[in-house]
Structure 1
Amino acid sequence: MIEFIDNHWEQREIELGIMNSNPAYNLLVNGREVLSEDDIQKEYEESKKLKTERYLVKIDGKALGVIDFCPLNLNDQMPWLGLLVMHRSVQANGLGKEVYIEFEKQLKKRNFNVIRLGVIEGNKKACGFWKSIGFSPYDEKMLNGKAIYCFQKDINR
């Protein structure tokens, strides 16, 4: 059973464990393989500032992922998935796809029609993943000196 539980600062050690199980991702995005509690605090502060929703993904009661969702990005007035990361121990077995599909169902119930996301240049695995579940590239932008590939999906199809 997949559940999305509101993620709070008190659960930072769980999130830190999930994030640090993905050293290659951390290196690509943050410039280092291991994140600190300060890094997670910055993420929470950014999330609060952008009014995003942050969830722990629990599967059969065990926290195995993190999702960050922005219902209204102030730059384009569109909903954005800021993060979907699964613990490394459960990657490459279709679980991430199941989690995303379940999250998309929740978005449909909330009357969202479209969702966007960005993938940092060099993350070919993520580009392939998002394309495989129906996202299409529509733009490329620069953020902090890094190219970001923008993807979009009409979730009502």
Structure 2
Amino acid sequence: MSISFEELTKETLYIALEIINSNPQYNVMENGNKTRSLAELNKELLNPHTISAFIKLDDTYIGVIDYMLENPKDSLPWLGLLIIHSDYQGFGFGSQAYELYESEIKNRGLDKVRIGVLQENTKAQHFWESLGFVYYITSNAENESGILCYEKQISCCQ
């Protein structure tokens, strides 16, 4: 079994909706509602600033990844979302998807990745720390509790 990425499109956005809505606890932490709408995801995932893709296990859509190759605020790559369908959690697929993402970042000659984790999302904090991410600051966006900012130095270029 292998993990791959497939570009997310307007025509396949409904699949991403099903994946994201299989994680109601995350949705509540992220925006106060158990479910997201197609319109919300269209705005969030199909925009000119980020790259959005499905995480596939062979031919099965099991997750969504959304990232920026260069955040205009710090000129570094930021991973905005990596979410696995609730039915596929706990099998290491999130770690495998991250490894694939990291290898793509290395292939582009980049050597650092940053992420933001919701302060109350302790499960995600442990996940990212287990992959070598290091906390460096808490950002307080308006109307939100703190966002814990992490970064990982990755060895660049083969």
- Measured against the shorter chain, the TM-score band is over 0.9
1:156 matched residue in structure 2: 155
2:81 matched residue in structure 1: 83
For normalisation by structure 2, the TM-score amounts to 0.93
Shift of 1:29: 0.2
Percent sequence identity is 36
Structure 1's consecutive aligned runs of 4 or more residues displaced over 2 angstroms after TM superposition are none
Instruction: Determine whether 1:16 maps to 2:17.
Output: yes
Whole-angstrom CA distance in 1 between matches of 2:42 and 2:138: 28
2:101 matched residue in structure 1: 103
Select 1:68's aligned residue among 66, 69, 72.
Answer: 66
For normalisation by structure 1, the TM-score amounts to 0.94
2:8 matched residue in structure 1: 7
1:36 matched residue in structure 2: 37
Return the letter of the residue paired with 2:9.
H
Per-residue CA distance 1:78-129 (angstroms, 9 max, x = gap): 1100100000111122111111112111211111100000001100000000
Whole-angstrom CA distance in 1 between matches of 2:32 and 2:39: 15
Q: Comparing both structures, which one devotes a greater share of its residues to helix?
A: 1
Whole-angstrom CA distance in 1 between matches of 2:84 and 2:142: 24
Whole-angstrom CA distance in 1 between matches of 2:107 and 2:74: 22
Per-residue CA distance 1:26-59 (angstroms, 9 max, x = gap): 00001100111111122135x32xx211111111
Instruction: Determine whether 1:54 maps to 2:58.
Output: no
Whole-angstrom CA distance in 2 between matches of 1:64 and 1:142: 31
Shift of 1:145: 2.5
**2:53 match: secondary structure:** strand
Q: What is the count of residue pairs matched by the alignment?
A: 154
2:117 matched residue in structure 1: 119
Q: Is contact 1:140–1:148 with CA below 8 Å preserved after alignment?
A: yes
Q: What is the alpha-carbon root mean square deviation over aligned residues?
A: 1.2
Q: Is contact 1:135–1:153 with CA below 8 Å preserved after alignment?
A: yes
1:131 matched residue in structure 2: 129
Where in structure 2 are there 5+ consecutive unaligned residues?
A: none
